[in-house]
Amino acid sequence: MRKLFAIIFFIILVLPLIFGAQTAISVITWALDRDFYTEILDQPQAYSALGTGPLIDQMLIIQLQLPPDADTTALRGILQSTLTQEFFQAQISAYVNGLFDHLQGKTTEFSPTIDLRPLKTVIAGEQQDAFLVALMQALPECAPGQTPGFGSDSENACKPAGVPDQLIIEQALKPSLPFIIAQIPDEAPLPGELGLVGRDMGWRRFLPGMATPASILLSVLILSSIAIAVWYLIALVAHAGWHERLQWLGWTLLIPSLLVFLLGFAAQGGVAAYWINFGLERANLAAAPAGAGLAEMLQVAAMTALPRITNAFRMVGGVCGAFGLSLIFWGVATPRK
């Protein structure tokens, strides 16, 4: 009767607890590592998606106060020539480090921004003439009663109707360009979903008084302690002698460990890749800040992250499984009383 009772409790309680604890330990080995996110985003596809998507158009429209339907093709082409891989690497690294510093309690606020200083330097230097010509192409003519200029809180930027663009450049824009550039901040908030991350961070502490990583580690430690306690108590109930108890402990640890170990192999195979591609194909990412290229960016990042994730599951499952086997052999070697 006591053995049947122990088997029932193993199925409904011990197995889920041990499996959950091992899964949680596997996840935190990479989920709390800031370098993990920097490495998976440090990909050419990520730079291509950020550099060619609508993110640049949104930044131009916001900073230059252009109409939402303004043609920024020429402006985007000039800026794309200055957005090097090193620039995007610095932006991604700053974004990840800023997020983790806030989660770890090192900073009180997290406001993701993009560095505009390299762009301001290019505009004020060798690309000045090309930028001004492209800017005039993007500016619409002023409507009747609208004041020419770069707009205000209630109006968009516009140029005088009937005045040649070159005349406006030589007599108005070039003399005032240093003042215009001075009005552009060195850093601008990220538009869209990327900027929303820093606006509502009320979820970052789910245990009062503790930063998020410490809260997660403490929660995993509590879960693991409960799993170990229940696992050991059920073994005491299952058998009266240590010859059987040690074998029971070994088998009840080996089974969930094997499941975690196999989960790592399954994720490394084509199953995970299939579901990643399946989800990205059906996700509407065209309106995201990085545009349609975000799908390719996420796919590459996920495929880059899979080896690290699967290795964590296999390592935890393998170590725990080896410990379970040692308990089985220990029990076999223990004399029956």
* Residue 251 or residue 77, greater confidence: 251
pLDDT of residue 223: 94
> Which H or E run contains 188?
strand 187-189
Rounded-to-integer distance, Cα 133 and Cα 135, Å: 5
Whole-model pTM: value is 0.74
Average pLDDT over residues 266-290: 66
* Token code pair at residue 181: 């550039």
> Which H or E run contains 40?
helix 34-41
Average pLDDT over residues 280-306: 67
pLDDT of residue 336: 81
Average pLDDT over residues 72-81: 77
Residue type, 172: A
pLDDT value at 251 more than 80: yes
Average pLDDT over residues 231-257: 92
Query: Sorting pLDDT into bands at 50, 70 and 90, what band is 209?
Result: low
pLDDT value at 99 more than 70: yes
Query: Sorting pLDDT into bands at 50, 70 and 90, what band is 335?
Result: confident
pLDDT of residue 132: 84
Rounded-to-integer distance, Cα 334 and Cα 337, Å: 9
pLDDT value at 164 more than 70: yes
pLDDT value at 206 more than 80: no
Strand-pairing partners, residue 187, are 115
Average pLDDT over residues 229-258: 92
Q: Which of 233, 250, 236 is nearest to 329 (CA)?
A: 250
Q: What is the C-alpha end-to-end distance of the chain, expressed in Å?
A: 20
pLDDT of residue 60: 73
Strand-pairing partners, residue 113, are 189
Phi and psi for 158 in degrees, rounded to 5? Answer: -160, 170
Among 28-37, 91-100, 215-224, 307-316, the least confident range: 91-100
Among 38-47, 185-194, 328-337, the least confident range: 185-194
Among 92-101, 292-301, 323-332, the least confident range: 292-301
pLDDT in tens, 115-143: 878 777 877 777 788 888 888 888 888 88
Mean pLDDT over each residue of the chain, to the nearest integer: 80
Output the CA angle 111-113-115, nearest 5 degrees.
150
Query: Sorting pLDDT into bands at 50, 70 and 90, what band is 305?
Result: confident
DSSP assignment of 86-148, as one string?
HHHHHHHHHHHHHHHHHHTTS-S----EEE-HHHHHHHHTTTHHHHHHHHHHHSPBPPTTPPP
pLDDT in tens, 143-155: 887 777 765 556 7
pLDDT in tens, 316-327: 999 999 999 999
Q: Which of 43, 59, 331, 96 is nearest to 191 (CA)?
A: 59
* Residue 324 or residue 278, greater confidence: 324
